Structure 1
Amino acid sequence: MKVEVDDSRCYAVGNCARHAPTVFDQNDDDGRVVLLAPDPPEREHAQVREAALRCPAAVIVLHENKSAHEE
């Protein structure tokens, strides 16, 4: 999984940091999303997906890697 964020559209709600705190944080100045881990380990994927679903501004973009058996 690869993660991208568009912090220019972020509402600074903090759902991302709440659901996946090792992958997302919030900027101290304006509260916008900060991406800590653009390539999170597999054990974090479920939390990252949840964070993306809970983002009210939809600023989190996930690029899922296909495994060999999915191709």
Structure 2
Amino acid sequence: MNDIWLDQIFAAKSAGRGGVVRRNILDVDRKIGRRRLELEVRRRGFHLIHCGTQYVIICDPAALKVIC
């Protein structure tokens, strides 16, 4: 079940196009845990940001620059 939930994140259309997906932190904690999400994001070469109550995953391995 947890692997299916994780696979669904990266099966989103925006993820496939190199876009952004986001998930509620409580949902991540309940389903797979932050560590598992972080490992999967790193494995794919993507970027993970914690912002408020959301995890934002930038599904593009290009360099990331925070402007402000």
TM-score range relative to shorter protein: 0.3 to 0.5
TM-score by length of 1: 0.34
Structure (1/2) with the larger helix percentage = 2
Q: Which has the larger radius of gyration?
A: 1
- RCO greater where, 1 or 2, for CA within 8 Å and sep 6 or more? 1
